[in-house]
Amino acid sequence: MNKSVYASPDQVSETKRHILTVLVDNEPGVLARVIGMFSGRGYNIDSLNVAEVSNDENISRITIVTHGTSEVVSQIEKQLLRIIPVHSVTNLDQEGSSVEAEVALVYIYISDTNKKKVYQLCDLYRARKIENENNTTIFEIAGASERVNRFIKEINEITKVEIVRSGPVAISSIQKNEEE
Amino acid sequence: MNNKITGAEIVLKSLAEQGVEVVFGYPGGAVLPIYDTLFKQNSIKHVLVRQEGGAIHAAEGYARSTGKTGVVLVTSGPGATNVVTGLTDAMMDSVPIVCITGQVPQHLIGSDAFQECDTTGITRPCTKHNYLVKDVNKLSSVFHEAFTIAQNGRPGPVLIDIPKDVQFASGTYEEKNKIIIPSHRLFEPSPDFEKNKIEEAVELISKAKKPIFYIGGGCINSGPKASKLVREFINTVGSPVTMTLMGLGVVGSSDKNSLGMLGMHGMYEANMAMHECDVMINIGARFDDRVTGRLDAFSPNSKKIHIDIDESNINKTINVDVPIIGDVKQVVEKMIALWKEKKFKIDDKTLKLWWDKINEWKKVDCLNYNNEGNQIKPQYAVQRLYELTKNTKTFITTEVGQHQMWAAQFYKFEEPNRWLTSGGLGTMGYGFPAAIGAQVGHPDALVVDIAGDASILMNIQEMSTAVQYRLPVKIFILNNEYMGMVRQWQELLHGGRYSESYTDSLPDFVKLAESYKAVGLRAKTTDELDDVITQMIETKNTVIADIWVTKEENCFPMIQSGSAHNEMMLSKDQKQDKKSAEKGKILV
């Protein structure tokens, strides 16, 4: 595919993963506004998380994992700020150190042959058993996405699993906060 | 609790408090309560259009010619979907609009009810903000916030969707000054915003050898004072200035510093100056692709200053050196003060060298066209229209296509807000309803829609509106029986295969005017032209002037898509090299 002659001059910056947290008024349609901006302008959403975070002020925090060059991500931030109910946009990668975590629920088929291995692995990753019936167990694992990825990869090598993941949420780390 | 009124009454009361004088609209089932209330009052005038698309373009024309917010009132379903084009148009060109749509009663929402559509869903990407009001007690605060958002920062369209049961319900009205809008929902430049950047910018300008001001529609949106300040600053600096299609009129055409319009069909000298300049001062423009041409060859050796109220325009397509986020009039006022305070001046010799170069480019005479024979050239028609209307307070609107570019090239604008055209979206059918809106806002002015024969048919039904309200709008059709700009691209880029760009069976525009009880005029040759224009101006009625122009005239100069500012085509004979033409073909 030929590069469009309207495309920007060759970018030097590389494509990177970014975590954006967006504080929004918790009003109907606000999520649609945010994700509609992404699809309408051709940006990527790798994962998305929304929840109300303060009871009194009706504010929700949206955590979006995206990837792009720094130029693209800076454009995403500015476009998000144009949305009327958006309070603030924080790029946690630019903020420096941040802490992220996600939750995965893993539905694992257990047999006598793999039982030991599965429990060992879950122990190693501190995955918590939350339900158990006959040959199936549901484990919960929380932590950084990379850790969850590794767990899933290894458990997949042992047995058949079904997985649901929340995608990461993130916050700037304590060290960072104390510096300020 | 006796001070409760109905939702419909709250709508009208909110509009009245916001100073709305006129609403453009079309009734229907889901807005009947509002129309009923409208019937019982006298302070707000309603202009009944013939299709909702006409209402929103009329509101745009009203807004852009008066500086006020345009208001539209339409019903649910098809009423709402018909305004989508106009909302997008207003979004692209930053026009303040408040659009009220009816919605089916709340208990029917989601049931695929008659004339139901997801209005807020459909219009989310083409409005600055929109609301579905479910609580009648919130209606007045929504209206006041909507008007503020439409006008605040970079203006734009705001839509309010009101279910029919909310229009009937009774609730309390809150006054404008009782509403507190949280600051994150508005654009609030801090009082000493970007001070360092302004200093940096002014200093950069003072050291320029080849400066150019690049002026856009943002200067018009900032109000008439902004144009005055921009003119003053440019005069003080002594720099040349070029304007975008949306910025025409900010600096007068006759101003000694003006190089006219730039971009795809802009002036040779303006584009060359943009290419060669060393300091570019972009005020209220957004480096649109019609202006920049090929991005990697855009003004390669300049430092760029960019003043814009919308931060997302900064570094969107072109990286700039000194970005300043703010309102044009506030920023330019500070720049002038600083320039004077520091006694900055670009020395005359340096400026003269730059002007000498520009004057060389001017000698190319890029708008030159062959005006032989007694057939009317479209360029000549616009020139004559200008000559015969220049001493009258005239508003020009256009549709989209060749005639639009000829109007921009040959009609000379001396003031802001007199030129209304669809720039960003390029909406054929914009000009006539916009002219109706401008005429409603300026009953005594001359309003002319310079149109093409194809574009005018897109909203021709509004003839009925113009005649009903005795609006003496003039439609000046440059009739070549083609979709001229499509035909031009087909000639230049698609081997002259005129696929579907010829309009067979055009109406007889004179008879068409007469059938609406308007006046129809026709000029077939150059010697009839002046008489027709004069008669058109003097007629105190809606007029269609059908001007038969040469059929295969092309609009030059032209930077073909994918070419740079210094690769302009001045005529058809000057073919582009094949490679860049092929590249340009995939672009729009």
Report the complex ipTM. Answer: 0.92
Using one digit for the tens of pLDDT, what is the confidence trace for A97-109?
Answer: 788 899 999 999 8
Average pLDDT of B494-520? Answer: 96
Contacts of B129 in chain A (CB under 8 A): 84
User: Which pLDDT score, from 0 to 100, does residue A174 have?
Assistant: 73
Q: Taking all residues of chain A, what is their mean pLDDT, rounded to a whole number? A: 87
pLDDT bin (cut points 50, 70, 90) of residue A1 is very low
Flag whether pLDDT at B312 surpasses 50.
yes
B562/A contact by beta carbon, under 8 A: yes
Least-confidence region, from B186-190, B313-317, B523-527: B186-190
Q: Taking all residues of chain B, what is their mean pLDDT, rounded to a whole number? A: 95
Flag whether pLDDT at B275 surpasses 70.
yes
User: Which pLDDT score, from 0 to 100, does residue A180 have?
Assistant: 45
Given B13, B68, B128, B164, the catalytic residue: B164
Given B9, B13, B52, B536, the catalytic residue: B52
Flag whether pLDDT at A177 surpasses 90.
no
Q: Where are the domains of chain A?
A: 16-91, 99-171
Helices B378-389/B526-538 angle, 10° precision: 40
Say whether B115 is catalytic.
yes
Kindly state the percentage of chain B with pLDDT values over 90. 93
Q: Which two three-digit tokens encode residue B81?
A: 């979907």
User: Which pLDDT score, from 0 to 100, does residue B536 have?
Assistant: 98
Torsion of CA B277, B281, B284, B287, to 10 degrees: 40
Q: Do B295 and A78 touch (CB under 8 A)?
A: no
User: Which pLDDT score, from 0 to 100, does residue B284 have?
Assistant: 97
Do the two domains B195-362 and B378-548 of this chain adopt the same fold?
A: yes
Q: Do A5 and B294 touch (CB under 8 A)?
A: yes
Contacts of A25 in chain B (CB under 8 A): 182, 185
pLDDT bin (cut points 50, 70, 90) of residue A54 is confident
Given B115, B375, B461, B468, the catalytic residue: B115
User: Which pLDDT score, from 0 to 100, does residue B187 have?
Assistant: 87
Q: How far is B88 from chain A (nearest CA, A)?
A: 13
Q: Which two three-digit tokens encode residue B61?
A: 């024309």
User: Which pLDDT score, from 0 to 100, does residue B353 have?
Assistant: 97
Say whether B213 is catalytic.
no
Q: Do A40 and B561 touch (CB under 8 A)?
A: no
Say whether B488 is catalytic.
no
Using one digit for the tens of pLDDT, what is the confidence trace for B90-118?
Answer: 999 999 999 999 999 999 999 999 999 99
**Which pTM was predicted?**
0.94
B579/A contact by beta carbon, under 8 A: no
| Choice between B196 and B327, residue whose per-residue pLDDT is larger | B327
Q: Which two three-digit tokens encode residue B567?
A: 């690769």
* CA distances, B371 to each of B274, B374, B375, B406, B450 (Å): 30, 9, 9, 14, 20
Flag whether pLDDT at B272 surpasses 80.
yes
User: Which pLDDT score, from 0 to 100, does residue B575 have?
Assistant: 60
Nearest to A26 by CA among A47, A48, A57, A64: A57
- In chain A, whose CA is at the least distance from the CA of B153? A82
Flag whether pLDDT at B1 surpasses 70.
no
Do the two domains A16-91 and A99-171 of this chain adopt the same fold?
A: yes
User: Which pLDDT score, from 0 to 100, does residue B534 have?
Assistant: 98
Using one digit for the tens of pLDDT, what is the confidence trace for B416-428?
Answer: 999 999 999 999 9
Using one digit for the tens of pLDDT, what is the confidence trace for B49-104?
Answer: 999 999 999 999 999 999 999 999 999 999 999 999 999 999 999 999 999 999 99
From chain A, which residues contact B within 8 Å (Cβ)? 2, 4-10, 25, 28-29, 32-33, 36-37, 40, 71, 74-75, 78-79, 81-82, 84-88
Average pLDDT of B472-493? Answer: 96
Superfamily of domain A99-171: ACT-like. Chain A, domain 2 (3.30.70.1150)
User: Which pLDDT score, from 0 to 100, does residue B196 have?
Assistant: 81
pLDDT bin (cut points 50, 70, 90) of residue A96 is low
Average pLDDT of B463-467? Answer: 98
| Choice between A6 and B490, residue whose per-residue pLDDT is larger | B490
Flag whether pLDDT at A139 surpasses 70.
yes
Q: Please tell me the distance from the alpha carbon of residue B379 to that of residue B371, in angstroms, as a whole number.
A: 9
Assign a CATH topology to domain B378-548: Rossmann fold (3.40.50)
Q: Where are the domains of chain B?
A: 5-177, 195-362, 378-548
| Domain range A16-91, its CATH number among 3.30.530.20, 3.30.70.260, 3.40.50.2020, 3.30.70.890 | 3.30.70.260
Q: Torsions phi, psi of A156, nearest 5? A: -60, -30
User: Which pLDDT score, from 0 to 100, does residue A56 have?
Assistant: 64
| Domain range B5-177, its CATH number among 3.40.50.970, 3.30.420.40, 3.30.70.1380, 3.40.50.2300 | 3.40.50.970
B551 Cβ neighbours under 8 A, 6+ residues apart: B480, B481, B482
B317/A contact by beta carbon, under 8 A: yes
**DSSP states of B178-240 as a string?**
G----GGGS----TTTTHHHHHHHHHHHHT-SSEEEEE-THHHHT-HHHHHHHHHHHHHHT--
**DSSP states of B353-375 as a string?**
HHHHHHHHHHTT-TT-----SSB
B567/A contact by beta carbon, under 8 A: no
Contacts of A87 in chain B (CB under 8 A): 184
Given B243, B264, B463, B485, the catalytic residue: B485
User: Which pLDDT score, from 0 to 100, does residue B192 have?
Assistant: 60
Q: Which two three-digit tokens encode residue A63?
A: 């955590």
Identify from B141, B264, B296 which residue to disrupt to test chain A contact, counting A C-beta atoms within 10 A and taking the largest count: B296
pLDDT bin (cut points 50, 70, 90) of residue B191 is low
The CATH number assigned to the domain with range B195-362 reads 3.40.50.1220
Contacts of B149 in chain A (CB under 8 A): 84
Q: To which H or E segment does residue B408 belong?
A: helix B402-410
Using one digit for the tens of pLDDT, what is the confidence trace for B538-566?
Answer: 999 999 999 999 999 999 999 988 899 99
Q: Do B185 and A84 touch (CB under 8 A)?
A: yes
User: Which pLDDT score, from 0 to 100, does residue A2 have?
Assistant: 43
